[in-house]
């Protein structure tokens, strides 16, 4: 299939919801993708099975604090510059573009690069959500090396990072992102078509597009806007265990940009059947844990997503404001993201929470 | 000529004196160079005129806070890794190694790389002293691009920095150095033999070697140890305007490691004919300005060097201790380092001092 101008709004909305509060506000990404598609017409979206085993596929993403990315806009040349730098290092041209994360802006930006260069983008990603650190992708879990990583900014600066471990690529790259003003365009985890087939979470781009279509019409849904969203999620192979965890008003938010991330917490004061209760959400770019007092309602890698109570429109960490009336959804991560091996890379302990991972459907039985 | 094991101690001493307090304590560098020469026998030192115009010559240096480099030792593999990464980027092998700065450890390390790889090292450098930032070299002044810069650490991490301006290479690289734990091995300002000829300060390695020989025998000199040093400096093409500025005891020192540098100030309480007077020295890796109250006694780019009062052995910023009896020397920078063009890159204003550059021989007439 081909992604066209008329798909952008839906794709952006679906991706924002799967961003679990992070992945960057897709507003800017949608504007940029619209411009690229207005110029180029469309971009090809292919199934990973269509990717020949021997081709070079390169994931593209924007790295940094979403709070910064809203104001510091990439100029587009930096997208190409990052890819060209990596190609030069590998002495080989990329034949397809991959997504690292389906959540937020990083679902859209690879399509811009694909459109600009006439390269297909593969339908899928490496998380089925958004995560704040570079090692937190299935590509890493399946042994695809993160390095070399090419980083580019809008001032024609290029930095290439090579380290044996993905965590080191993240650590070094994070310092560089700060030096680049808080955001940078990156290409990393370059892999063969064969590696893409064994390490991707498949079909998440078209899934996000479908999710966005549902959100667009959700406010007029008979059973309420977020029920329509939950129904769609239940039809997917990854997100079928999903719950409405809480409804209320944002009564407090503490958010700071620290070491290249948006870090903090938000409190939601319940209304309706949640009256008298308070949900606290902690985030590092993405929502990581939702608690009522000592009781955990959902925890990473399951998705915790805040949506507008009236429209089911997703609200990002940097978009959340005092007084907003919201509904908090808890959504199961893709099964592959919940394995013991996977939890070692992005489970609660990795983010400093001394709690075991418990699936959202176990924490919230129906 | 060839540099051999028996030259190391003298070269290290001469380089430490020309380091103006910075450039890193050559103790560790001398140990490493001794080991390399014990293994390889010797390293070839050539005059820049012997360098064919078309060859690729690559400056090598260690970047970071000298306070860190004393404890975090390079493993030698990182030297080669930095050069190989740059060669890979340029798709060309280096045929000669250059020094960036003659001051301190960076006068010795290029010889280690030369010895290990059997490459000649060119007699000269890009400062005639030491400076804390990457853009502060004659190579930059004469239009040699700093980028690409390869950086390597002792954990097999490699970062390649490319930016249009040398200041940007410094800024990005400084963040990376911090990420690498405070020090890194770097190759940058790759240039042709022709460019080396027009941009180097020539002969400073052999000059440092001669200076070290003088220091070794200075304590038994008839006219006092530091007079012997001044006499030798007067015989050179760069350092002929040199003065003994002050003698006294280190009575206070404030030194912190900040953003990858050693930053602070020292107070010297006069004795002998300086009794009742105090000299204050401010430094950023290197000594930058020496003042008695409001009166400037010497200022960057002229060299301010602290030596032991009894032996004329140079004392680095991180070696200076409360109670040490020292003599402070003021030494003219190479004439090329004092031009208006040069002062824009490393004059007092660049370091935040709102004073004009005044030559040490004008500030201290004989």
Mean pLDDT, chain A, rounded, equals 94
Neighbour tally for A276: CB within 10 Å: 7
- Residue of B155, B160, B172 lying closest to A179 (CB–CB): B172
Query: Which chain B residue has the Cα nearest residue A151?
Result: B161
Of B155, B158, B168, which is closest to A157 when you measure between CB atoms? B168
- Tell me if B159 and A180 make a contact (CB, 8 A cut-off): no
Determine phi and psi for A232, rounding to 5 degrees.
-60, -45
Confidence at residue A333, expressed as pLDDT on a 0 to 100 scale: 97
Res. A178: pLDDT tops 80:
yes
**A172 close contact with B: CB closer than 8 A:** yes
In angstroms, the CA B147 to CA B68 distance is 25
Q: What is the mean predicted confidence (pLDDT) over B61-82? A: 80
- State residue B310's pLDDT score: 93
Instruction: Check CB contact under 8 Å for B157 and A174.
Output: no
> Is some CB atom of chain A closer than 8 A to the CB atom of B151?
no
Contact B160 A159 (CB under 8 A): yes
- Assess A180–B contact: CB distance below 8 Å, yes or no: yes
In Å, how far are A11, A60, B111, B261, B364 from A96, measured between CA atoms? Answer: 20, 10, 45, 43, 68
Q: Determine, for residues B176 and A180 on separate chains, whether the beta-carbon distance falls below 8 Å.
A: no
Interface test with A, best of B82, B160, B181 (most A CBs within 10 A): B160
In this predicted structure, the answer to whether residue A311 has a pLDDT above a threshold of 90 is: yes
Give the mean pLDDT of chain B. Answer: 94
Q: How confident is the model at residue B66 (pLDDT cuts 50, 70, 90)?
A: low
pLDDT of residue A190: 98
Beta strands in chain A (DSSP E): 2-4, 42-46, 56-64, 96-99, 121-122, 124-125, 149-152, 158-162, 183-187, 191-192, 201-202, 242-258, 261-270, 278-284, 286-292, 295-299, 303-308, 314-315, 325-331
- In the block, which residue shows the tokens 């060309």? B92
Q: Tokens in use for B192?
A: 């042709």
Q: Is A9 in the B-facing interface, judged by CB distances under 8 Å?
A: no
Q: Are A23 and A15 in contact (CB under 8 A)?
A: yes
CATH of segment(s) A238-363: 2.40.390.10
| pLDDT > 90? residue B258 | no
Q: Which residue has the higher pLDDT, B240 or A65?
A: B240
CA distances from B323 to B184, B267, B290, B311, B315 (A): 32, 11, 18, 16, 13
Contact status of B172 with chain A (Cβ, < 8 Å):
yes
* Minimum distance, in Å, between the CA of residue B177 and any CA atom of chain A: 9
Using an 8 Å CB-CB cutoff, list chain B residues near A172. Answer: 157, 159, 176, 179-180
Q: Which residue has the higher pLDDT, A225 or B176?
A: B176
Q: Given pLDDT bands bounded at 50, 70 and 90, which one contains residue B220?
A: confident
Residue of A nearest to B168 (CA): A157
Q: Show the tokens assigned to A51.
A: 């990717």
Chain A residues in contact with B145 (beta carbon < 8 A)? none
Nearest by CB to residue A175, choosing from B155, B156, B179, is B179
How many percent of chain A have pLDDT more than 70?
A: 98
Question: Chain A residue closest to B172 (CA)?
Answer: A179
Task: Give the model's pLDDT for residue A25.
Answer: 74
User: Which of the residues A64, A159, A170, A188 would you substitute to probe the B interface, choosing the one with the greatest number of B C-beta atoms within 10 Å?
Assistant: A159
Contacts with A, B 81-110, CB within 8 Å: 85, 89
CA distance B147 to B206: 28
- On chain B, the residues whose CB falls within 8 A of the CB of A260 are none
pTM for this one?
0.88
Residue A260 has pLDDT above 80, yes or no: no
Q: Three-state SS for A38?
A: helix
Ranges A84-88, A255-259, B5-9: which has the least confidence: A255-259
> Which residues does chain B have within 8 Å of residue A155's beta carbon, measured at their own beta carbons?
163-164, 168
Residue A126 and residue A337: Cα distance in Å, rounded?
10
**Using N-to-C axis directions, what is the helix angle for A225-234 and A204-218, rounded to 10°?**
160
Q: Is B159 on the interface with A (CB under 8 A)?
A: yes
CA-CA distance, A141 to A335, in Å (whole number)? 14
Q: Looking at the complex, does the CB of residue B77 fall below 8 Å from at least one CB of chain A?
A: no
The pLDDT of residue B70 is above 70: no
Q: Which of B82, B87, B145, B161 to mutate to test the interface with A (most CBs of A within 10 A)?
A: B161
Is A167's Cβ below 8 Å from some Cβ in B?
A: no
Q: How many CA atoms lie less than 13 Å away from A161 in the CB half-sphere?
A: 34
Query: Which residues of chain A lie closer than 8 angstroms to B165, CB-CB?
Result: none
As a three-state string, the secondary structure of A210-271 is: HHHHHHHHHCCCCCCHHHHHHHHHHCCCCCCCEEEEEEEEEEEEEEEEECCEEEEEEEEEEC
Q: Are A96 and A193 in contact (CB under 8 A)?
A: yes
Q: Which residues of B touch A158 (CB under 8 A)?
A: 160-163
Neighbours of B143 (CB within 10 A): 10
CA B191 to chain A, closest CA, distance in angstroms equals 20
Structure tokens given for B97 = 């190694």
Q: Is B161 on the interface with A (CB under 8 A)?
A: yes
Per DSSP, the residues of A84-124 read: HHHHHHHTS---EEEES-SSGGGGTHHHHHHHHHT--EESE
Q: Which tens digits make up the pLDDT trace of B273-298?
A: 999 999 999 999 899 999 999 999 99
Residues of B in contact with A157 (CB under 8 A): 161-164, 168, 172
Q: Which of A81, A146, A154, A175 to mutate to test the interface with B (most CBs of B within 10 A)?
A: A175
A155 touches chain B (CB under 8 A): yes
Contact B176 A160 (CB under 8 A): no
Average pLDDT value for residue range B199-214: 97
Instruction: Report domain extents, chain A.
Output: 2-202, 238-363
Which pLDDT belongs to residue A261?
74
Sheet of A278-284: strands edge to edge? A295-299, A286-292, A278-284, A261-270, A242-258, A325-331, A303-308, A314-315
Give the integer Cα–Cα distance in Å for B120 and B111: 8
What is the C-alpha to C-alpha distance for residues B285 and B136, in angstroms, rounded to an integer?
13
Considering only alpha carbons, which residue of chain A is nearest residue B166?
A157
**pLDDT tens, A38-56?**
999 999 999 999 999 999 9
Is the per-residue pLDDT at A70 higher than 70? no
Residue A68: per-residue pLDDT: 66
Burial class (CB in 10 A: 0-12, 13-18, 19+), A212: buried
**CA-based nearest residue in chain A for residue B159:** A161
The 10 Å Cβ neighbour count of residue A282 is 20
| Portion of chain A with pLDDT greater than 90, in percent | 85
Does the distance separating the beta carbons of A168 and B155 come in below 8 Å? Answer: yes
> CA-CA distance, B209 to A315, in Å (whole number)?
67
| Cβ pairs bridging A and B (under 8 Å) | 67
How many Å apart are CA B69 and CA A69, to the nearest integer? 36
Rounded Cα gap, residues B110 and B113, in angstroms: 5
- Proportion of chain B above pLDDT 90, given as a percent: 85
Separation between Cα atoms, residue B12 and residue B33, nearest integer Å? 10
A238-363 and A2-202 share a CATH fold? no
Residue B261 Cα to chain centre, angstroms: 14
Residue-wise pLDDT tens digits, B83-107: 999 999 999 999 999 999 999 899 9
| pLDDT tens-digit map of B111-158 | 999 999 999 999 999 999 999 899 999 999 999 999 999 999 999 999
Pull the structure tokens for residue B230.
Answer: 């001044």
Nearest CA in chain A to B81: A162
Pick left, alpha or beta for residue A320 (phi over 0 → left; psi -120 to 50 → alpha; otherwise beta). Answer: beta
Is the CB of residue B346 less than 8 Å from the CB of residue B131?
yes
Query: Within an 8 Å CB–CB cutoff, is residue A163 touching chain B?
Result: yes
Nearest CA in chain B to A87: B89
* pLDDT class of A314 with cuts at 50, 70, 90: very high
**A158 closest CB neighbour out of B156, B162, B176:** B162
Q: SS3 for A157?
A: coil
Residues of A in contact with B155 (CB under 8 A): 163-164, 168
CATH of A2-202, one of 2.60.120.260, 3.30.530.20, 3.40.1610.10, 3.30.70.260: 3.40.1610.10
pLDDT category at B7 given cuts 50, 70, 90 is very high
Cβ A11 vs Cβ A45: under 8 Å: no
Residue A210: per-residue pLDDT = 97
Question: Closest Cα of chain A to B120: distance in Å?
Answer: 28
**Of residues A89, A160, A179, nearest to B175 (C-beta):** A179
- Asked if residue A349 has pLDDT above 70, the reply is yes
pLDDT at residue number B150:
98
- Cβ atoms of A122 and A57 within 8 Å: the answer is yes
A157: nearest CB among B156, B159, B162 = B162
pLDDT of residue B271: 95
CA distance A294 to A348: 15
Cβ-based contacts of B85 with chain A (< 8 Å): 162
Whether residue A65 has pLDDT greater than 80? no
Is the predicted pLDDT of residue B11 greater than 70, yes or no?
Answer: yes
SS (H, E, C) chain B: CEEEHHHHHHHHHHHHHHCCCCCCCHHHHHHHHHHHHHHHCEEEEECHHHCCCCCEEEEEEEEECHHHHCCCCCCCHHHHHHHHHHHHHHCCCCCEEEECCCCHHHHCHHHHHHHHHCCCEECEECCCCCCCCCCCCHHHHCCCCCCCEEEECCCCCEEEEECCCHHHHHHHHHHHHHHCCCEEEEECCCEEHHHHHHHCEECHHHHHHHHHHHHHHHCCCCCCHHHHHHHHHHCCCCCCCEEEEEEEEEEEEEEEEECCEEEEEEEEEECHHHCCCEEEEEEECEEEEEEECCEEEEECCCEEEEEECCCCCEECCCCCCCCCEEEEEEECCCHHHHCHHHHHHHCHHHHCCCCCCCCHHHHCCC
Residues B239-363: name the CATH superfamily. Answer: CV3147-like (2.40.390.10)
**Closest in A85, A161, A164 to B159, CB measured:** A161
Write out the two tokens for A280. 């606290």
Write out pLDDT tens, residues B13-56: 999 999 999 887 788 889 999 999 999 999 999 999 999 999 99
């Amino acid at each position: 299939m081909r992604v066209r101008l008329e798909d952008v709004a839906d794709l952006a909305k679906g991706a924002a919801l799967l961003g679990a509060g992070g992945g960057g506000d897709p507003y800017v990404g949608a504007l940029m993708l619209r411009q690229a598609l207005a110029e180029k017409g469309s971009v090809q979206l292919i199934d990973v099975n269509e990717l020949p085993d021997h081709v070079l596929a390169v994931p593209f993403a924007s790295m940094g604090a979403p709070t910064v990315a809203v104001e510091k806009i990439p100029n587009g040349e930096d997208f190409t510059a990052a890819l060209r730098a990596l190609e030069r290092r590998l002495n080989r041209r990329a034949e397809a573009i991959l997504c690292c994360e389906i959540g937020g802006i990083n679902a859209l930006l690879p399509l811009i690069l694909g459109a600009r260069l006439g390269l297909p983008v593969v339908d899928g990603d490496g998380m089925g959500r958004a995560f704040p650190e570079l090692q937190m992708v299935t590509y890493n879990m399946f042994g695809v090396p993160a390095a070399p990583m090419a980083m580019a900014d809008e001032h024609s600066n290029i930095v290439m990072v090579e380290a044996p471990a993905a965590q080191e690529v993240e650590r070094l790259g994070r310092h560089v992102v700060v030096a680049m003003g808080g955001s940078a365009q990156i290409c990393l985890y370059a892999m063969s078509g064969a590696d893409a087939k064994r390490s991707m979470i498949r079909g998440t781009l078209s899934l996000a597009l479908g999710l966005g279509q549902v959100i667009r019409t959700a406010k007029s849904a008979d059973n309420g806007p977020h029920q329509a969203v939950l129904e769609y999620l239940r039809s997917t192979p990854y997100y079928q265990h999903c719950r409405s965890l809480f409804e209320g008003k944002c009564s407090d938010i503490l958010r700071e940009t620290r070491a290249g991330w948006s870090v903090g917490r938000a409190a939601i004061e319940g209304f309706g059947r949640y009256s008298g209760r308070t949900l606290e959400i902690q985030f590092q770019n993405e929502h990581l844990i939702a608690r009522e007092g000592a009781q955990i309602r959902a925890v990473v890698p399951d998705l915790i997503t805040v949506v507008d109570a009236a429209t089911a429109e997703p609200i990002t960490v940097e978009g959340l404001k005092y007084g907003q009336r919201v509904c908090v959804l808890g959504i199961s991560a893709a099964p592959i993201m919940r394995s013991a091996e996977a939890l070692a890379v992005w489970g609660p302990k990795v983010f400093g929470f001394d709690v075991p991972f418990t699936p959202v459907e176990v924490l919230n039985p129906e």
